[in-house]
Structure 1
Amino acid sequence: MNKTDSKSPKFRRRAEARPDEVLDAALALFTEQGYARTTVDQVARRAGFSKGTVYLYFSSKEAILEGLVRRAVEPIAEASFDRMADYRGDPRPLLATFVQTVAQTLSSGDYRTVPLIILREAPAAPGIAALFRNAVLDRALPAMIGLLEQGVAGGHIRAVDPELTARSVIGPVMVHLLLSEVFDIRPDGGMEMERLVENHLSILFAGLEPEGTT
């Protein structure tokens, strides 16, 4: 009885870790050979599981990719989206937290790979673009637009267009990622994500200053 009990927690930990092991294997394969050329069989073999075990957690290859997207977005969502919805006041501190969290997440190799997979595969697979929109953009853009709207209404920032400004908030970080990882164009010091964020926020926040502020 004691022998069985001692093995049970280990087995539970192993079972709970399996979805992440599948995601790790899929991420490696998607990076090495592309999403389209990867099969669930290959993911299962890389993870050391049977194909049936993979299907216990993910119903399809698309579901695995969705799992990767959601895992990458969780740190950003927890730090930003819910707070934006209920926030009242100057939006700039929350915008700074959001941009810094996105940049920090994208600085991790594993997390950085996910949006690059989406960008590379979406033109040939519209379902992938829809997946990313549903998991990320349909949450991020409304939250940020609402945050900016209340900031304008409260006089905390100048009367900008909230929707266009929301695109401007995250745009430089994504372009920086594209230049670095797709076109292999980087600053002399390397990725320099922290410096980019500092520079971007200084320009953005100066532009959001209420009119008449000295």
Structure 2
Amino acid sequence: MAGDERGPKFRRRAEARPDEVLDAALDLFIERGFASTRVEDIAARAGLSKGAVYLYFPSKEAVLEGLLRRAVVPIATSALSYIEGYVGDPRTPITFAMKAVAAKLADPKMLAIPKLMMREMINFPDFAQMYRREVLDHVIPVIIGLIRTGIAEGHLRPVDPELTVRSIVGPIVMHVLMDEVFGFRPEGGLSIDGLVDNHLTILFDGLSAPQSNKRFMAT
């Protein structure tokens, strides 16, 4: 009977272990940096043996990849579910996607992940390739298509869609980079949501087609 009672609890514990490992790793990566954190440190923080960690993640690099997949990929998937197949003024889904990213990055632990990736991509180029494969290769073509449609329907000026995508996402990347690498932080704090609001104002003033050119009004 006792064994039956322990069974479901044990299974729940086993199912939770990958997340426990990732939570412990993120705390240590924030405290010590990726290079100074050992797998045995992660195991100790998670309350597991080193061997148990390797059951779920074959290396420390795999743990960092796991953090990316757990945190960033769902954000991209959520944004894509809204953007794909959207009909109308592209400023609406762009605003939604940017504000959704800002809301997620308001959590310091969530923000720590892109900061880690920016630091570690230089030393571990496989991380950059994984980020491209898991996120950019899915998101960028959809946004390019959205811009092209917006131009064709008269919502946007005739701009280069591929370069415009870089203008859309670039400020957030540079904002985090300036803080993480160069130590430049606005007086009011990093404030991703404030940056996004400011960026969208400037972006849409530059992208929006003159009123006389519009064939469809924003919805």
Report the CA distance between 1:13 and its aligned residue: 2.3
Q: Which residue of 1 aligns with 2:13?
A: 14
* Residue in 2 that maps onto 1:167: 166
Q: Which residue of 2 aligns with 1:57?
A: 56
Q: 1:148 is matched with which residue?
A: 147
Aligned to 2:188: 189
Q: Is structure 2 residue 207 aligned with structure 1 residue 208? A: yes
Q: Which moved more, 1:47-56 or 1:20-29?
A: 47-56
Deviation at 1:102, TM superposition (A): 1.4
Match of 2:118 in 1: 119
What is the Cα-based RMSD across aligned positions, in Å? Answer: 2.0
Distance 2:26 2:156 in 1: 41
8 Å contact kept, 2:73–2:135: no
Aligned ranges for residues 18-37 of structure 1 at < 5 Å? 18-37=17-36
Residue 105 of structure 2 is matched in structure 1 by 106
- Paired residue type of 1:78: T
Q: Per-residue CA shift, 1:45-78, capped at 9, x if unaligned?
A: 2211122222222222222111101112144223
1:42 corresponding residue in structure 2: 41
Bigger mean CA deviation after superposition, 102-111 or 173-182? 173-182
The residue type equivalent to 1:200 in the other structure is H
Is contact 1:88-1:151 (8 Å) kept? no
What SS does structure 2 have at the residue aligned with 1:187?
coil
Spell out, residue by residue over 1:88-136, the C-alpha distance to the aligned partner (whole angstroms, 9 max, x if none): 2211111011111111222211111111111112222222222222222
Quote the Cα distance in structure 2 between the aligned partners of 1:186 and 1:92. 28
Shift of 1:18: 0.8
Overall identity of the aligned pairs, in %: 52
In structure 2, runs of 5+ residues without a counterpart are 214-219
Output the amino acid matched with 1:62: E
What TM-score, normalized by structure 1, do the two folds share? 0.89
Partner of 1:76: 75
SS at match of 1:123: coil
1:140 aligned partner, one-letter code: V
Per-residue displacement from partner, 1:20-54 (whole Å, max 9, x unpaired)?
11111111222233223333222222211122222
Q: Quick one: structure 1 residues 132 and 78, their matched pair in 2 at CA, closer, same or farther if it must change by over 3 Å? A: closer
* Mapped contact 1:172–1:200 kept (Cα < 8 A): yes
> CA–CA distance in 1 between the matches of 2:180 and 2:111?
9
2:84 counterpart SS class = helix
Rounded to whole Å, the distance in 1 between the matches of 2:212 and 2:94 is 20
Q: C-alpha deviations, 1:145-199, integer Å up to 9, x for none?
A: 1221222222222211111111111111222222233333222222232222111
Provide closer, same or farther for how the CA distance between residues 125 and 203 of structure 1 changes in structure 2, counting only shifts above 3 A.
same
